[in-house]
Amino acid sequence: MAVLTPYTFIQCPCSDSSTLGRPSDPNSSTITEADEDERTFDPRAPRSNFSLYPLEYLLYCEDCHQIRCPRCVSEEIVTYYCPNCLFEVPSSNLKSEGNRCTRSCFQCPICIGPLAVTSIETRPDPSLLAAPDNTAAPHSGPYALTCSYCNWSSTEIGIQFEKPNSIHAQLAKLRNGGSTRLTAKERKERRKDPAYRRYQATSSGEGESDQTENLDLETQFANLKAFYQNQLADPNSADTGLAALGDLGFSSPTSLSRIMSIYTGGSLQDRKAKSRLGAMREALKPDEGLQFAHLDESAAIETLRGEGHDGTASITQLVDQPPNLGEEHLHGRSRFISELRPIPYLLRTKRSKRCPVCRHIISKPEAKVQTTRFRIRLVAGSYIPSIAIRPLSLSATAGGGGSSASGATLPGALLEPLKPAHFLLTFKNPIFETIKVTLGAPAETPGRFASKVTVLCPVFEVDANTDVWDEALREGGATGGAGSGGGGEKGERRRGRYDEGSQANNGNQLEVGKIWERGRNWVSIVVEVVPASLRLDQGDAPLREDEDVLEIPLFVHVEWEGEAGGDDVLESVAAKDKGGEAREKRELAYWCVLGLGRIRK
């Protein structure tokens, strides 16, 4: 069983219908709060799976003052680029060429590793080592795509290239096995060619097998389209009914609505027109787009006999295959590995994100592919307090050891049923104002196994996130290396323990309503849990997956004011940051889930 590290997931308000889109102004939120007090958020409800996110995944809308999650933001694509060659693809190309890289970027059809273009004839000539200047010569002759991960080579499916560049264009002209196929343009020209038409006419007289071979998806579609267009345009096929509709083009939006009205009962149409439409004939010849399905699978069975199961492609391999318009329709038949083709890389995107309510942009990356900067990046982590969980072992603290947290209770250790355990929750304030945090947790966790939960200090204040230099100056003498500051969570924890050690010697006791310890912009409080026993009675349903994980729903209510809390240093920082609008009282409330650990079975 994987070791469970404690986690905090936050519920996005978008999943809550009552608060959807409502800005948290003080008047309405009291009502909301009252509503929310009524019911406890259940982290195990199936719906919760879709609303809980780690803090990093959440964004924050500054105008709505609300958390936004990946599910509720609306995304807009800024740039398309190939993840392999990192070239930007203009959106005009995207419409004509599709959503895959049209350079020489391919993935292995077997293992999806990247394919490299290599010369097939590698001449291990020892003389070349001595004279490296003449070595331009060996890089000639046919080329193949090879995978350096699984050693697959495009020669296995009989594909070789004459040039080492523009592989995509070359591959489009090659069938598996090396026989050429026509590109869309050539095919269009061929259709116009009278000699080809004559050939088609004669072959259609002979038999069906060879003509069906000629029809790949693209051709079939083009033929069908031309056929139906002819049928519609032909005054003989459906004379009065369609003629009444005037000279509407086949592809015009009005004709679409006409077709829709035909299919949806057609009260606007007279019955006659409908019956005449039914008289329209279907395609009968290959050049009209008719293609017989291959029901004879003896060839496939024969191949399967020869190659066995190893010769067939797996579902993942088939799913990764791009739709190949150059081949005939497969009609759901299974495929062999020999039929797989190199996969051109799917393009990736850079996307900006908008608030779903006020339509303000809350995240916008730079358009250039190579830059990683963001023009706008309003992440929840810089607005709402982060919650770090750490097991707390009281016995070690009583012993006066400095390493109380990592003493007996190892992180990831199983929780003993019915034995009180303590966890330190460290709230870290990212904003420049002092925040007042109010916590609410149900006395018992929802679900089949109700563990008892006590938040020892549900109301507390966390000091503002002042400039790191202030702290550095304040603590200057104490520790040598404190200057660089901003150490993130790790550094935070370290200092916490450091202080804790000294405090423990002063006799830090578990006390209701008391903060365990506090620092510059963080506060640690203690949560006591009595894990439930996972013993199942006769007739109970067996333990479901992850039902042994102790998860606590916690309602966090954060309140802060624009006015800086008395400190003049804070004042200036806050004023600079928030400007004139900082004078109002703000609050934010949300549910989060604390995953503490697994209970011993």
- The residue ranges that bind another protein (CB under 8 A) are 55-59, 70, 81, 83-86, 111-114, 116, 125, 128-129, 132-133, 135-136, 138, 147-150, 348, 353, 363, 369-370, 372, 374, 377, 379-381, 402, 406, 479, 481, 484, 486-494, 497-498, 501
Q: How far is the CB of 52 from another protein (least distance, A)?
A: 14
Secondary-structure breakdown of the chain: helix, strand, coil percentages, each rounded to the nearest 5: 35, 20, 45
User: Residues near 356 by Cβ (< 8 Å), separated by ≥ 6?
Assistant: 14, 21, 68, 72, 73, 74
Q: How far is the CB of 542 from another protein (least distance, A)?
A: 30
Cβ proximity to another protein: between 485 and 562 the closer is: 485
Cβ proximity to another protein: between 497 and 598 the closer is: 497
Cβ proximity to another protein: between 136 and 195 the closer is: 136
Do 210 and 293 meet the contact criterion of CB atoms below 8 Å apart? no
Q: How far is the CB of 555 from another protein (least distance, A)?
A: 22
Neighbours of 328 (CB within 10 A): 16
How far is Cα 599 from Cα 412, in angstroms, rounded to an integer? 10
Q: How far is the CB of 67 from another protein (least distance, A)?
A: 11
Cβ proximity to another protein: between 111 and 534 the closer is: 111
Q: How far is the CB of 492 from another protein (least distance, A)?
A: 8
Q: What is the largest CA-CA distance in the chain?
A: 102
DSSP bridge pairs for 376: 364
Residue 111 φ then ψ, to 5°: -120, 0
Q: How far is the CB of 252 from another protein (least distance, A)?
A: 41
Is 536 in a helix, a strand, or coil? coil
Cβ proximity to another protein: between 149 and 292 the closer is: 149
Cβ proximity to another protein: between 487 and 565 the closer is: 487
User: Residues near 301 by Cβ (< 8 Å), separated by ≥ 6?
Assistant: none
Q: How far is the CB of 430 from another protein (least distance, A)?
A: 10
Q: Which two tokens stand for residue 528?
A: 């006591």
Cβ proximity to another protein: between 320 and 548 the closer is: 320
Cβ proximity to another protein: between 70 and 158 the closer is: 70
Cβ proximity to another protein: between 89 and 273 the closer is: 89
How far is Cα 415 from Cα 330, in angstroms, rounded to an integer? 55
Q: How far is the CB of 273 from another protein (least distance, A)?
A: 52
Which of 152, 142, 82 lies closest to 115 in space, CA to CA? 152
How far is Cα 463 from Cα 484, in angstroms, rounded to an integer? 20
Q: What is the 3-state secondary structure (H, E, C) of 84-104?
A: CCCCEECHHHHHHHCCECCCC
Cβ proximity to another protein: between 369 and 431 the closer is: 369
Q: How far is the CB of 355 from another protein (least distance, A)?
A: 13
Q: How far is CA 125 from CA 26, 131, 133, 256, 462, in A?
A: 81, 11, 13, 66, 73
Q: How far is CA 195 from CA 5, 189, 200, 210, 284, in A?
A: 73, 11, 9, 17, 21
Q: How far is the CB of 38 from another protein (least distance, A)?
A: 31
